[in-house]
Amino acid sequence: MKKIALISLGALCMLLGLVFVIIPGPSLIFFIAGLFCLSFYYPKARDYLTLCQKALTKSCAYIDKKLAR
Q: What is the mean pLDDT of the chain?
A: 92
**Distance (Å, whole) CA 58 – CA 42:** 25
- How many domains are contained in the chain? 1
- Inter-CA distances, 10 with 15, 22, 39, 58, Å: 9, 19, 9, 25
Domain that holds residue 51: 1-68
For residue 20, the model assigns a pLDDT of 93
The predicted model gives 29-50 an average pLDDT of 93
Question: What string of DSSP letters covers 31-49?
Answer: HHHHHHHHTTT-HHHHHHH
Q: Around Cβ 18, how many Cβ atoms within 10 Å? A: 13
For residue 69, the model assigns a pLDDT of 76
